[in-house]
Homo-oligomer: A and B are copies of this chain.
Amino acid sequence: MPSEIEGVELKQQPILSENERIAAQVRSMLDENGVKAVEFLGGPGCGKTSLIECLIQELRSKYKIGYIGADLATTSDTERISKYGVPVVQINTGMECWTPAFLVKQALEKLNLKELDLLFIENLGNLICPFEAPVGAHVRVGVVSVAEGEDKIVKYPKPLMLADVIVINKVDLAELLGINVEKMVADAKKVNPKGLVVVASAKTKQGIEELVEVLGL
């Protein structure tokens, strides 16, 4: 990902510019077909897939939903999502730490966009790199789990300020882990200029209705 660190030559700005050009093409493909795309980003095991499962259960009677999932190596997330009868496409990046927009564009070409209203795009488990490289989604949801520790939002401010919505997930574990959720919410509002923060638990379904509302779905 791009860098201004001295002493090491990181020629990545051209890649990101090129990525943005392709992300704009992805956005056009979505808009031409009337598909709203919501991207989920966050570290390993923060609960991106579980939140998407909750949203699919909540919304599948209202929208025709599709799913694109990015992972280093496995197809386990797409397998989980396909159980809901939703068309899915898997992206595997190997060792790559972000999902280039051209892979999402290729994935879109495998879906019948005319038959979809809503697309969930799940990025790689990484709380840094994918935030910098938009893939063309209309809304970007950054997810942090309370199980990652109360300090996680202040520790990852630059990525999280690039999200449209921040979800503080696994809140059912907060009491057990001694996490001050109010502090995390305050941190999220401070870090993120849009200030849209949802406290949720994919396990207990807390906050899912609010997330639906915040996403305008």
Contact = CB atoms under 8 A, between A and B. Distances in A.
**Secondary structure of the A side of the interface?**
loop
A93 interface: yes
Contacts of A74: 151, 154-155
Contact of A14 (B9, B73, B124): B9
Given A125-B156, A154-B73, A154-B74, A103 B45 contact: no
Q: How many copies does the complex hold?
A: 2
A127 interface: yes
A90 interface: no
Interface stretch (A94-102, A110-118, A205-213): A94-102
A85 to B, nearest CB: 22
A15 to B, nearest CB: 6
A149 interface: yes
A170 to B, nearest CB: 8
Given A3-B96, A4-B94, 18 more contacts: A7-B102, A8-B15, A8-B100, A9-B14, A10-B12, A43-B45, A44-B144, A44-B149, A44-B152, A44-B155, A45-B145, A72-B128, A72-B157, A72-B159, A73-B156, A95-B132, A97-B129, A173-B173
B10 A45 contact: no
A44 B97 contact: no
Nearest to A158: B95
Contacts of A82: none
Contact of A158 (B1, B94, B100): B94
A60 interface: no
A152 B74 CA distance: 10
Contacts of A4: 94
A100 B148 contact: no
Nearest to A43: B44
Nearest to A93: B5
Contact of A95 (B2, B73, B176): B2
B148 A44 contact: yes
Contacts of A102: 7-8
